[in-house]
Amino acid sequence: MSNNFKNFDTLCIHAGIEDYEFGPVVPPIYQTSTFRFDNAEQGANIFAGKIKGYNYTRLNNPTIEAMENSIASLEGGYKALGCASGMAAIHTVFASLLKTGDHVVASHSLYGPTITLLDTIFAKFNIESTFINTSDLNIVENSLKRKNTKLVYIETPGNPTLDISDIEELAKLAHQYGALLVVDNAFMSPALQKPLLLGADVVLHSMSKYINGHADVIAGIVVVKDQDMYTLMRKTLNQTGGVIDPFNSFLIHRGVKTLSVRMEKHNFNAQKVAEFLANHPLIEKVYFPGLPNHPNKNIHDKQAKGPGAVISCEIKGGLRTGVELMNNLNLFQLAVSLGGVESLIQHPASMTHASVPVEQRLKSGITDGLIRISVGIEDINDLLEDLNNGLEKAKLVL
């Protein structure tokens, strides 16, 4: 089957699929740990990379490869590497690109475990990390002046305060000072934002989020621009072992087929929810790129095709009122993660970012009164009614 498709909706359905024995319209699940060779010479040539073939699923597998090629096509990249989790993808990037004595410049608004990974595991190897407001290019440039800075790592929108960083300008700055730009694109998915086409060197995702979209998979992916970067990261991933399995790859590739249409509904619902919250007397502040007063909204609109479906807000009365809201919702489920078809709500300071030191949390805007919402694709009227009922209950504890 040809994969020379140009339009995103078509790529979602057909990218990555090759011709398989017996003509299946979806890639079969090659649920095997190892592959038999026709003869010793063939086995040796496959291991040497001289001929196309498969040898061991930790190294390569047709089901995994189909999914990887699909995501690489969606991101406009050269190749992709499927990982066992989003954190495995992040670890693969850091382990591939960093060495003792290197310095990382990272957004202060990041997924909590990413901060902890840099501050604990990689700090043991004398790799230093500086967490800054990457929305401010002057602050970024000052941090890049250290000669040992090798990597700029960002999320945009940032987690959980939805800070917006300019991917194109950050790529130019990073390259000017001899560093690489890595973008965690999980909040947007390639349906809304393609960092590689804006100058980033590497893009990664937790595929547990929008790419899969159904809250039934733990997986991550790294997408790269060229053969050299792919070879480097493939060696690292194969040796450290954080690879994805065939069955989860099959589920993700199936989920990708509806990515485009899901994101349309996610965006629509989230816009309505954000506007409702922004006008509710119990909500002090709403963080959402779809609102006209969101900081750097013009930059987000330049580099993304929609606001996404993650909203954070500050509620009057702080944590006490927020707990009352979260405990009195029926449709919004109290759970971490995001990007599934169902709507979720959680408290970052005590959940996703609990491992981040309090001082660092507050510096990046994660207060005890901050609530993060992942808006699903349910009927918008049901979502608004559920939120309104919960907020009415929360009023009673003020």
Packing angle of the helix pair 259-278, 380-395 (nearest 10 deg) = 30
For residues 263 and 9, is the Cβ–Cβ distance under 8 A? no
Token pair 């060779």: residue = 37
Q: How far is CA 154 from the centre of its chain?
A: 11
Chain position carrying tokens 């989790």 = 85
Per-residue tens of pLDDT for the chain, all 398 residues = 445 677 999 999 999 998 888 999 999 999 999 999 999 999 999 999 999 999 999 999 999 999 999 999 999 999 999 999 999 999 999 999 999 999 999 999 999 899 999 999 999 999 999 999 999 999 999 999 999 999 999 999 999 999 999 999 999 999 999 999 999 999 999 999 999 999 999 999 999 999 999 999 999 999 999 999 999 999 999 999 999 999 999 999 999 999 999 999 999 999 999 999 999 999 999 999 999 999 999 999 999 999 999 999 999 998 889 999 999 999 999 999 999 999 999 988 887 788 788 777 777 787 788 999 999 999 999 999 999 999 999 999 88
pLDDT given at position 2: 47
End-to-end CA distance of the chain: 61
Q: Please name which of 46, 114, 49, 97 lies closest in space to residue 224, comparing C-alpha atoms.
A: 97
pLDDT confidence of residue 3: 59
Starting at the earlier edge strand, list the strands of the sheet with 128-132.
79-83, 220-224, 202-206, 180-184, 149-155, 103-107, 128-132
Crossing angle (nearest 10°) for helices 86-97 and 227-240: 110
Q: What are phi and psi of 250, to 5 degrees?
A: -60, -45
Q: How many CB atoms lie within 10 A of CB 72?
A: 25
Tell me which H or E stretch contains 345.
Answer: strand 344-346
* Beta-sheet strand order (sheet of 310-315): 283-287, 310-315, 370-374, 344-346, 333-334
Structural domains of the chain, with CATH: 8-256 (3.40.640.10), 259-395 (3.90.1150.10)
AA letter at 208: S
Query: How many CA atoms, within 13 angstroms, populate the side-chain half-sphere of residue 331?
Result: 20
Q: Which residue has the tokens 């930790």?
A: 58
H or E element at residue 128: strand 128-132
Report how far residue 68's alpha carbon sits from residue 62's, in angstroms, rounded to the nearest whole number: 10
Residue 48: what pLDDT? 94
d(CA 73, CA 96): 22
Can you tell me which residue has the tokens 């349910």? 378
Which residues belong to the active site?
Answer: 58, 111, 184, 209
